[in-house]
Structure 1
Amino acid sequence: MPSSSPQPLAFPQAQQAQIIRANQRDLFHVSSLREQTESILRSWLGTRRLIRWEKEVDALVKLAYYGLTTGRATQTLGEEYTDIWQYSSQHGRLPTPLRRRIALIFLAVFPTYLLAKVGSNVSLNQQNPELAGSVRKVQRILSMAAEINLAIFYLRGTYYDPIKRLLGVKQISSFPENPHLRPPSYALLGIMIGVRLSYRLAQDVKPHVWQSNVSKGSNDDIPTGSADAFLDDRPINQVIKNQNLDDSPIIPAEEDTGTALNIAAIPDDLRQSRNCTLCLEERTDSCITECGHLFCWNCIVGWGREKAECPLCRQSLVLSKLLPVYNL
């Protein structure tokens, strides 16, 4: 006699296009939530303090977004947009077990945060350069692993996120498969990423090959050092190294000793054009970046310790190449 127990419903695997759109949508919502959070905190703390807590804000925003969605066994906004669900391929359960969901959120947020925090620690770079170099190598390895995973996804279409591949978390769709419709293929993107990874690997190997060849030959042509840039009569690297921005007081523009101008004699309408875009106050100890933008010395040094890019145009920022100006 046949069994009368109901058969479990079978859902098709989520298609590549659904997974890609869901992840793009999630990135958009996380970015929007982070911008709104930073806007609120900036009005409370100011730009300079917010820069110091930028990584913590980013981690807390991601924890809040994924904790209130994945952590509660519900769809993220991106998954809801494409109508896909997460499930454990090992347990065959929907929703994914709690421990696996917690691990998914934790591994997606904290390792990246810790590596970025340690990698941007200036005192660590100076006191323990070997550890700082190891951290940068780990960051580079993780970046390449993410690209390898993405190339495999475009070729096979299962795990877009390497953390989900590690934990065996797949996604299913509530839309039935259409046997008469061929889904789009992203294999070409996978091949292009593979070509780029091969080029990066060749670029990484080339310095080691060059160093090996040099060690076998003469070292006469190897430069032993370079001239240091100076601020007045002091090496600028030493100035940046010894400067403690947390303890530096905010001084009025009239008391600025780093300018040859008579600030009090400048008309008010012209003084408004001297505001620093980071602290929104009148510039003191003015300096200019390689890309031609003016900031307070303390503001741009504090920014550059966290981000090696100009806050206005995003070009590369090298603190040792800041140029103090005394007549602007």
Structure 2
Amino acid sequence: AGLRSGAGTALRGLAGARPWLQWRREVELLSDVAYFVLTTLSGYQTLGEEYVNIIQVDPSKKKKKVPSFLRRALFISLHAVVPYCLEKALLHLEHELQMEAEESRSPENPPALGFPSRTLIRSWIRKQVGELTEQQKKTASQIVYVLKQSIPLLHRLHLAVFYIQGTFYHLSKRITGISYLHFGGLQGEDQNIRSSYKFLGIISLFHLLLTIGVQMYSFKQKQRARQEWRLHRNLAHQKSTSKEAAAGRQSRCTLCLEERRHSTATPCGHLFCWECITAWCNTRAECPLCREKFHPQKLIYLRHYQM
């Protein structure tokens, strides 16, 4: 944390706040890698390990030994590099999927900030997304959403298991099999501390299950709201279409069977085109529909009539 803070402060002082915000995650990554290379990879204890008198060991050996160089390098990669790459990959993938869904991508995109490989990764993701079908893009969006929601839950589950078992604080150490050997201190005191941590782990598991239940319920509510909205939108579209069709049928003249022009009403209330009904009245002075007799002077020309 101190190395992160110092590197961030130095970059902010030299380059300003804007470059620091753009490169903040990369500075944190370089700080973490530098710290673990100088300590764990070099075979030394970290400050925290030295403070509590613990050393890293390889439990796969019958005799406790310091983890091999390859195992320590794998731990650093899983602990610092892989989470950064996964976070950036999901971020770029989500961005590209949203841009494809909105169909609003500009012809010239601004250059990506960060490592030089970041542009290559982003262009590769963009190329792969462009080759997907619409159904595959929807599936990919769902997978990205599930991963973003499940990764923090996985870390919380691993932390609760650590509280109960007392080994492998980091998920990367559980994967590489690196545990700790404590030297010095009182065993009875350690047992009391471990018992309290087990209780904390049980509470953490219960809270995690409650969180998962709430998220699943919220997800189902969102799905239900989306289905109801789609149904409402479809019904509204059908109603508007039927209204337009009905309006189109009602706005037709029964004499020429075309849309009414210069709507004119007879005394009995039926509507016709002005030209059609006046031509009709030249031969018959009656309504073409109900046959009610009337004088042509009784025709009413409707101004600004929409239907």
Per the normalisation by structure 2, the TM-score is 0.55
Q: Which residue of 1 aligns with 2:14?
A: 44
Whether 1:114 aligns to 2:123 is no
Q: Indicate the structure (1 or 2) with the bigger Cα radius of gyration.
A: 2
Q: 1:59 to 1:192 in 2, by over 3 A?
A: same
Residue 169 of structure 2, aligned match among 160, 183, 196: 160
202-211 vs 69-78, which moves further: 202-211
How far is the alpha carbon of 1:104 from its aligned partner?
0.3
How many residue pairs align between the two structures?
A: 194
Superposed counterparts of 1:131-142, under 5 Å: 131=140, 134-142=143-151
Q: Which residue of 2 aligns with 1:187?
A: 198
CA distance in 2, matches of 1:88, 1:137: 34
Q: Which amino acid in 1 is paired with 2:165?
A: R
Q: Which amino acid in 2 is paired with 1:142?
A: I
Superposed counterparts of 1:220-259, under 5 Å: 220-221=231-232
Q: Which residue of 1 aligns with 2:68?
A: 97
Q: 1:75 to 1:180 in 2, by over 3 A?
A: closer
- The 3-state SS of whatever aligns with 1:158 is coil
Q: Which residue of 2 aligns with 1:151?
A: 160
CA distance in 1, matches of 2:217, 2:189: 49
CA distance in 2, matches of 1:115, 1:158: 25
CA distance in 1, matches of 2:226, 2:154: 31
Q: 1:193 to 1:61 in 2, by over 3 A?
A: same
Q: Which amino acid in 2 is paired with 1:189?
A: L
How far is the alpha carbon of 1:142 from its aligned partner?
2.3
Report if the CA contact (8 A) 1:115-1:135 is conserved: no
Q: 1:179 to 1:113 in 2, by over 3 A?
A: closer
How far is the alpha carbon of 1:180 from its aligned partner?
8.0
- State the percentage of identical aligned residues: 25
CA distance in 2, matches of 1:43, 1:223: 57
Once the two structures are superposed, residues 133-174 of structure 1 have per-residue CA deviations (whole angstroms, 9 ceiling, x without a partner) of 534532432221111111111112112111111111110011
Report if the CA contact (8 A) 1:118-1:132 is conserved: no
Q: 1:82 to 1:203 in 2, by over 3 A?
A: same
Report if the CA contact (8 A) 1:63-1:109 is conserved: yes
Q: 1:54 to 1:134 in 2, by over 3 A?
A: farther
Superposed counterparts of 1:1-328, under 5 Å: 31-91=1-61, 92-121=63-92, 123-124=95-96, 125-127=98-100, 131=140, 134-175=143-184, 177-179=186-188, 182-184=191-193, 185-210=196-221, 219-221=230-232
CA distance in 1, matches of 2:189, 2:8: 48
Flag the structure with higher helix content. 2
Q: Which amino acid in 1 is paired with 2:213?
A: A
Which structure has more relative contact order (CA 8 Å, sep 6+)? It is 1
76-85 vs 208-217, which moves further: 208-217
- The 3-state SS of whatever aligns with 1:86 is strand
Per the normalisation by structure 1, the TM-score is 0.52
CA distance in 2, matches of 1:78, 1:223: 61
Q: 1:217 to 1:80 in 2, by over 3 A?
A: closer
Q: Which residue of 2 aligns with 1:268?
A: none
